[in-house]
Structure 1
C-alpha cells in the first residue's frame, strides 16, 4: 500500500523543482524575493498537509488487516508504480504547467508547492513504513480494488488491506525497493 502512496512522490518532486527553477526567471508581479519566500512557506505547508491528511483513515483500515489468501492477487511494486504514474501523468503535467504559469504572478511559489506535495507523499510513505515495521506486516491492496489508473490507497473502493510478512514481495516497508544481497 505504501508503494501507491510513494509512487507520486518522485514525479511531483522533480516537476516541482523544475517548475521552481523555471519560475525564478520571470520577475513576476510581486518580485523574486517575495515569490521565493512565499514558495518556501507553501513548500512547508503543503508538505505537512499532504503528509498528515487521511492518516486516521489509514490507521482505521490497517487495524483490520486480513492475511492475504492464496486467491488474492497482489501486484508487483514496479507494476504498481507504473500504473499509478500512467494514470496520473496528465494531472502531474497539468500541475507542472500551472506552477510554471503561476510564476508570472508569484515567482517559484507554484513549483515549490508542487515539490512540497512530493515531499509530503514521501513522508507519508515513511510513516506507513514505520507502522509496517512496528506491526511486522506489509500492507497490500488487492489489485481489483485499485482501478487501472492507479487508484487511491484510502479511496472508497478500498474495503480493507491485506497483510503478509515483511519478507514477502519485492517491496520493503514504506514502499521502497527491496535490496537483495548479491550471490557470489
Structure 2
C-alpha cells in the first residue's frame, strides 16, 4: 500500500521516499514541454531572428543543465555521508507515489514555466523552451550521479517524507538520509523504474 507524503505509518515508523526519485521526478515534465516550447518558439521569427534565438537557446541549455546538475552537490554528499540505516518499521514509499507527489506539488510552476517559455519565443525564438529542457536534463544528470553514488556504496538513499519541503530532498529541514540495501523498493539506483 502506498502512503502519501508525511503520513505517520505507526508508532516509531517513518514514511521514506527515494532521494533519486524525487530529483528525477522533474526531469520529464521539464524536458518534453521544454522541447515543445522550443519548437513552437522556433516557428516565430521573433525580434532577434530564429538563428540567433536558437544559438542563444543552445548555449542557455548547456549552462542551465550544468548549473542544475551541480547545484547543492556538496549538500547531497554531506547528507549521504551522514546517512543512517532505515529501521524495520520504516515504510518505503512507492516510486509512483513519490513522482505523483512531486508533480502535483509543482504543476502550476510547470505550467507557468511552459507558458513563459512559449511567450519568450517572440523575443528569442526557441530559447525559453531550451532553458526549460536544460533544467530537465540537469535534474536527470543529478539523479544519475546519485545513482552512481548508490552503486558505489551498495545502498539506496531515502529521505523522510515529512522533511521534504517543496519537493527538495536536500532542504534545510533534512538532517540526514536513511539507507537500505540495493534491492529495496521498486526503483533502481538513480531513480529509474526497476526492470
TM-score where L is the length of structure 2: 0.89
Gaps of at least 5 residues in structure 1 are 180-184
Structure 2 CA distance for aligned equivalents of residues 13 and 125 of structure 1: 14
Aligned with 2:193 (options 171, 177, 184): 177
Deviations along 1:54-112, one digit per CA (max 9) or x if unpaired, are 00000001001100012323211110000000000100110000001111000000000
Aligned with 1:157 (options 173, 186, 189): 173
Aligned residues: 177
Equivalent positions of 1:107-126 (< 5 A) are 107-126=125-144
Structure 2 CA distance for aligned equivalents of residues 80 and 17 of structure 1: 24
- Which aligned runs of 4 or more in structure 1 are off by greater than 6 angstroms? none
Structure 2 CA distance for aligned equivalents of residues 47 and 107 of structure 1: 19
Aligned-pair RMSD on alpha carbons?
A: 0.9
TM-score where L is the length of structure 1: 0.94
Equivalent positions of 1:4-153 (< 5 A) are 4-146=22-164, 151-153=167-169
Structure 1 CA distance for aligned equivalents of residues 182 and 88 of structure 2: 17
Structure 1 CA distance for aligned equivalents of residues 56 and 162 of structure 2: 42
Deviations along 1:122-162, one digit per CA (max 9) or x if unpaired, are 00000000000000000011122225x6x211111211100
Partners of 1:73 and 1:142 within 8 A in 2 = no
Structure 1 CA distance for aligned equivalents of residues 137 and 152 of structure 2: 23
